[in-house]
A and B are shown apart, each in its own frame.
Chain A
Amino acid sequence: MTDTGLLNLSLTEVASAIRRKKLSSVEVTRACLEHAARVQPKLNCFISLEADEALKAARKADQALKRGSKVGPLHGVPLAHKDMFYRAGKISTGGSKILREYRPKVTATVVERLAAAGAIWMGGLNMAEFAANPTGHNDHWGHCRNPWNPAHMTGGSSSGSGSAVAARACYGALGSDTGGSVRLPAAACGVVGLKPTSGLISRYGILPRSWSQDTVGPLTRTVRDCARVTRVIAGADPKDPTCVAEPAADYERALAGRIKGLRIGVPVNHYYDGATDDVRKRMDESLAVFRSLGARVAEIKVPDPQEIFLLSSTVSQSEAATMHGAWIRTRPQDYSFYVRSRMEAGFHIPATAYLQAINLRAHLLDEFMREVYGKVDFLHTPVMVMPPPTIAETEPKAAGDVAGIVSRITRNTRPTNYLGLPALSVPAGFSKSGLPIAFQLMGRPFSEALIFRAAHLYQQETDWHSRMPSL
């Protein structure tokens, strides 16, 4: 198989080929490492590449297969992750200057689970500084670039995860999503990205952004790949008491069903405000696919997402100001103004307002469940109302520009984090200028299996996910 053919395999396809000894983990890992090194000058998607360690792990994976050892569902598959998933004693920068040499003392539960499933760690991926911007700009490590057009933003904060997976530099990546940070780079780079229900996936050992709204999710090229990684990393974790106390479902098996008769809601308010013609057209086309699969599509008015957006911002700014307070006071020059300005208001929000915003979550979730998920099974919306803008267009010139840029990009993603609900970003085609466009499917708490099924059926009818950027 040519390197291009090999790199273009999906995660589950390559896992199967390694397991059946059609490909070795060493040849797959070597191909990814070489391709990653080739695209890095153009995309800047990696912060670190651990070639020697990755090849050593791949050799061990191949030996284990030769011995006939029992192997996991990601055996020998090279993955790379947003540079904020801790491994004890290894540098984890968080995309920041402050943590440039930071070696955490603990290992993230999701990292342990991926390793136990046999995955190979290729390196740390670029990300927004402290996971705090939705565009992929990074003043310390350099901006990450979109494989479909390097002048355009990747989306963030899991910028390297979206860019590297789309570029075929790895078969999947972990990201984190506090206000859209998995779904935005997935959408902008044309890959699949999951923001799970709060409590489904452990957050132990990850760099925090907003304790109440942080989630961990995979970015992959297919829904099936995403389902597999989610199964591996989800489920109870005594080290993260916010995790639900039961094992992960078999999401891959659930892909086999149908969605006939299920109801898809299309919001008539908020989610299409300012949408470009390109985006509207792709949304209509994707809804037509769901109709052809037997789903019923209906318009629905949803509780004011702008109110939810502001409450979510109140929570994240207050929590970020709390965790960054000591460094903001002692070394403010080590933050970019983009990131500093994303938490400054948090220092001036009264504690009572923060706690009211926290207590309002249950009320707004209750309202949303009754008014939306009492009537439909999914919500279908654009992830962004425009194709990914250029890096220059989204570069703030002053601190006062930041709030406007952030709210323009995250207006459709942030409300879901406050409500704790699951959402999956799925490629839906391209703009006239060849940039990816995506929809998100949102559902009830812990409805990931149903969301994966619907999105998987959509991918069986379309080929957007198999398009490859020319690099």
Chain B
Amino acid sequence: MSDKPTSQLIRDHGRQIARLDIAEQRAGELATEVDRLNSAVLEGASRLDFNDEPARFSALLLAYRQAKIK
């Protein structure tokens, strides 16, 4: 399961799902970029928990807020 996205996948996805026509060379560049980003997410995702939700981030910022300074 380590196949990387190909330029053909990006072109097909563009045409069939996103309604975008993508040139062959650009599709190759995008395949590399999508792989780089998607891999970073998948590798980081082992940290995630079933109960996670986006609003936890803002709550955590407040929880960690700097104490009032003198």
Contacts and interface: CB of A to CB of B under 8 A. Distances in A.
A359 B45 CA distance: 9
Sorted from nearest, which 10 A-B pairs have the closest CB atoms? A447-B66, A310-B40, A362-B56, A446-B65, A361-B57, A445-B61, A359-B52, A444-B66, A345-B33, A347-B18
Given A311-B44, A314-B41, A420 B29 contact: no
A350 B38 CA distance: 8
Interface of A: 197-199, 242, 244, 254, 257, 307, 310-311, 313-314, 317, 325, 328-329, 344-345, 347-350, 353, 355-366, 369, 373, 399-400, 403, 420, 443-447, 449-450, 453
Contact of A360 (B33, B36, B45, B64): B45
Contacts, number: 125
B58 A199 contact: yes
A242 B55 CA distance: 10
Contacts of B61: 197-199, 365, 420, 445-446
A358 B40 CA distance: 13
Given A329-B19, A369-B64, A353 B38 contact: yes
Interface in B17-69: 18-20, 22, 25-26, 29-30, 33-34, 36-38, 40-45, 47-48, 52-54, 56-62, 64-66, 69
B45 A356 contact: yes
A328 B18 CA distance: 11
Interface of B: 5, 10, 13-14, 18-20, 22, 25-26, 29-30, 33-34, 36-38, 40-45, 47-48, 52-54, 56-62, 64-66, 69-70
A453 B69 contact: yes
Contact residues of A: prevailing secondary structure: helix
Given A314-B37, A349-B37, A366-B60, A445 B65 contact: yes
A359 B47 CA distance: 10
Contacts of A444: 64-66
